[in-house]
Amino acid sequence: EADIYQTPRYLVIGTGKKITLECSQTMGHDKMYWYQQDPGMELHLIHYSYGVNSTEKGDLSSESTVSRIRTEHFPLTLESARPSHTSQYLCASSPVGISYEQYFGPGTRLTVT
């Protein structure tokens, strides 16, 4: 079944640790996105990609980095986690061509202690 997957779903980690949040999609979409979402707030775009080896920063400044080596895989990495990184991280993808609709994974709830 075509879908978009995120792992882990929940992560509690100490300050200073390096973490990678995984996102994979089996829908053949070329466009992929990472959002940060805090409770009661709108989604903030932190990274996006329009294809392999294409990555851009979004509107919200983030200390994270992303890579897009394969079409289906778009991991997000934090080199040194801080309590200010505590948030929900949502991955999304969008179909090939002129399409704005986005399909979301279940999210990763990150807590940095």
Partner 1 sequence: AQSVTQPDIHITVSEGASLELRCNYSYGATPYLFWYVQSPGQGLQLLLKYFSGDTLVQGIKGFEAEFKRSQSSFNLRKPSVHWSDAAEYFCAVRGDSNYQLIWGAGTKLIIKP
List residues near partner 1 by CB under 8 A.
Answer: 4, 6, 31, 33, 40-43, 45, 48, 50, 56, 58, 90, 92, 94, 99-107, 109
CB of 73 to partner 1, least distance (A): 17
Please give, one letter per residue, the 3-state secondary structure of the chain: CCCEEEECCEEEECCCCCEEEEEEECCCCCEEEEEEECCCCCCEEEEEEEECCEEEECCCCCCCEECCCECCECCEEECCCCHHHCEEEEEEEECCCCCCCCEECCCEEEEEC
Nearest to partner 1 of 35, 112 (CB atom): 35
User: In whole angstroms, how close is the CB of 16 to partner 1 at the nearest point?
Assistant: 27
| CB 80, min distance to partner 1, A | 27
